[in-house]
C-alpha cells in the first residue's frame, strides 16, 4: 500500500511536448523549475491525487531483449544513481516521449519530471521519479479593473484537480525493471503511454494475483453459480470468497474451495472453469500466493450484493455478515401465484 503524504519534491523539470504528426515541436527548459511553498503544495496534490483514488495496479519496465534497453529505465536509473543529473535526464525523457507522439490523436502538453523522496510503499521508505503530463486546457475567467468598471478576461489553463497522465517509478526492484504505478485519464491511444513510452508489463505480485483471482471468482459466480442455483447463492458465494481473502494473509486454493464452496458438486465445475478461463486472468497455474489487503478492499467495493427482482424490488445482502442472508432469507415457489418469493425473517425494523 502506498503512502504519498510524507513525500517531498526534491527537484522538478518542466518541458512541453508537441505532436510530431502535426509538425509540433518539443520545448526543453534550460533549468529546473524553481518552486515556492504554495506552488509545491498545489503540485503535490495535482500529481498525487489520482494515485490515492485509483486501484494500485503495479507494472515493471520491460524490453523484449533486456530491460537495460528500455529508454525510460536507462534515464531513470541515471537519476537514481546521481540526482544531480535529474534535469539532464528529464530532457531525455521528454524527448523520448516526443518521439512516441506521432499518432494524430495525441495531444500536446506540459511534461513534469519530478524527483521525489520520503514515499512509503508497503511501509518501506523509498524515493521515486514521477513523470506527469497535462494535456487538456480549460477556459477560466479573470477579472480586471478598468477605470470604474470590472472587465472579464478569458484565459486558458489546466485543471489542477485532474491529472491527464502520470506514473511513479519507485527505486525498488531495479533488476526486475523497478516498480511502477501509472494513471491515464485520456485514453485516446491505449499504447501511447504504457507501451510506446513507458514500455511496461503488469507486475505479477500479490496485488496482481489477489485482484485477478477475485475477478475470476466473480465471473465464475455469474457464469456457473447463478445458472446452477440462483442470484442469492451467487451473491453469497462472492461474500464467502471475499471474506476468505479478508481474513487470511496467504491464499491456498484447496483451503479456499473447502471453505467457500458450500455445494461440493461445484468444485469440479470451478476447476474446469479455471482451466478454460484462467489464462484470461493469468491465474491458470496459480494455486497459492500472498494476499494483498488493499486489493481485497477494492474488490469488496465493486462487487454487487443486491438481488434485483422483476417486481421492482431490491434485496440488499450484508457483505460483511453473509450468515444473516443464509439464516433469515429463504427462497420458495408459490403454486397459487405461479411466482417465486423471498421470505425474510426479522425481529424489528431498524431506523435509518
**What does the pLDDT read at residue 284?**
92
Contact indicator for 100, 80 with CB cutoff of 8 Å: no
Averaged over 265-291, what is the pLDDT? Answer: 93
Least confident of 92-96, 274-278, 298-302: 298-302
**What does the pLDDT read at residue 236?**
85
Residue 233 has pLDDT above 80, yes or no: yes
Residue 157 burial by Cβ neighbours in a 10 Å radius (0-12, 13-18, 19+): exposed
CA distance 185 to 51: 12
Is-above-0.85 flag for pTM? no
Distance, C-alpha 267 to centroid of its chain: 31
Q: Residue 26: which pLDDT band, with cuts at 50, 70 and 90?
A: very high
Least confident of 156-170, 228-242, 281-295, 296-310: 296-310
Mean pLDDT, the chain, whole residue set: 90
Cell of 13: 523539470
CA distance 332 to 157: 61
CA distance 57 to 36: 32
Q: Residue 224: which pLDDT band, with cuts at 50, 70 and 90?
A: very high
Contact indicator for 86, 13 with CB cutoff of 8 Å: yes
Q: Hey, is 65 helix, strand or coil?
A: coil
Q: Residue 352: which pLDDT band, with cuts at 50, 70 and 90?
A: low
CA distance 298 to 52: 12
Instruction: Give kind and range of the element (H or E) at residue 12.
Output: strand 8-17
Q: What is the pLDDT of residues 325-351, one digit of tens each?
A: 667 887 888 888 898 888 888 888 877
Q: What is the pLDDT of residues 68-110, one digit of tens each?
A: 999 999 999 999 999 999 999 999 999 999 999 988 889 999 9
Contact indicator for 278, 217 with CB cutoff of 8 Å: no
Residue 319 has pLDDT above 60, yes or no: no
Percent of the chain clearing pLDDT 90 (strictly above): 59
**What does the pLDDT read at residue 323?**
64
Residue 215 has pLDDT above 60, yes or no: yes
Q: How many CA atoms lie within 13 A of 174 on its CB side?
A: 14
Averaged over 35-49, what is the pLDDT? Answer: 92
**What does the pLDDT read at residue 350?**
75
Q: What is the pLDDT of residues 123-177, one digit of tens each?
A: 899 999 999 999 988 888 889 898 889 999 898 888 888 899 999 999 999 999 9
Q: Hey, is 72 helix, strand or coil?
A: helix
Amino acid at each position: 500500500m502506498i503512502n504519498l503524504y510524507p513525500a517531498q519534491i526534491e527537484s522538478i523539470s518542466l518541458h512541453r511536448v508537441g505532436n510530431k504528426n502535426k509538425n509540433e515541436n518539443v520545448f526543453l527548459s534550460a533549468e529546473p523549475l524553481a518552486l515556492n511553498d504554495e506552488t509545491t503544495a498545489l503540485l503535490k496534490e495535482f500529481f498525487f491525487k489520482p494515485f490515492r483514488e485509483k486501484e494500485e495496479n503495479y507494472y515493471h519496465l520491460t524490453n523484449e531483449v533486456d530491460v537495460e534497453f528500455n529508454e525510460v529505465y536507462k534515464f531513470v536509473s541515471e537519476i537514481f544513481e546521481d540526482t544531480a543529473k535529474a534535469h539532464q535526464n528529464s530532457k531525455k525523457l521528454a524527448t523520448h516521449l516526443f518521439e512516441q507522439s506521432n499518432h494524430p490523436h495525441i495531444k500536446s502538453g506540459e511534461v513534469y519530471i519530478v524527483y521525489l523522496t520520503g514515499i512509503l510503499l508497503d511501509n518501506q521508505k523509498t524515493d521515486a521519479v514521477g513523470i506527469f503530463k497535462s494535456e487538456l486546457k480549460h477556459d477560466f475567467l479573470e477579472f480586471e479593473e478598468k477605470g470604474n468598471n470590472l472587465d472579464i478576461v478569458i484565459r486558458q489553463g489546466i485543471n489542477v484537480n485532474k491529472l491527464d497522465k502520470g506514473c511513479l517509478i519507485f527505486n525498488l526492484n531495479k533488476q526486475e525493471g523497478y516498480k511502477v504505478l501509472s494513471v491515464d485519464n485520456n485514453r485516446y491511444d491505449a499504447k501511447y503511454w504504457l507501451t510506446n513510452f513507458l514500455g511496461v508489463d503488469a507486475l505479477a505480485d500479490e496485488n496482481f494475483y489477489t485482484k485477478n483471482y477475485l475477478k475470476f471468482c466473480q465471473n465464475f459466480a455469474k457464469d456457473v453459480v447463478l445458472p446452477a442455483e440462483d442470484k442469492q447463492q451467487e451473491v453469497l458465494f462472492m461474500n464467502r470468497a471475499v471474506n476468505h481473502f479478508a481474513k487470511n494473509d496467504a491464499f491456498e486454493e484447496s483451503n479456499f474451495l473447502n471453505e467457500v464452496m458450500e455445494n461440493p458438486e461445484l468444485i469440479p465445475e470451478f476447476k474446469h472453469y479455471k482451466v478454460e478461463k484462467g489464462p484470461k486472468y493469468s491465474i491458470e497455474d496459480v494455486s497459492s500466493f500472498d494476499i494483498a489487503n488493499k486489493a481485497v478492499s477494492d474488490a469488496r467495493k465493486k462487487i454487487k450484493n443486491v438481488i434485483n427482482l422483476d417486481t421492482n424490488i431490491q434485496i440488499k445482502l450484508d457483505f460483511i455478515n453473509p450468515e444473516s442472508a443464509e439464516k433469515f432469507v429463504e427462497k420458495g415457489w408459490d403454486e397459487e401465484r405461479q411466482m417465486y418469493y423471498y421470505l425474510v425473517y426479522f425481529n424489528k425494523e431498524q431506523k435509518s
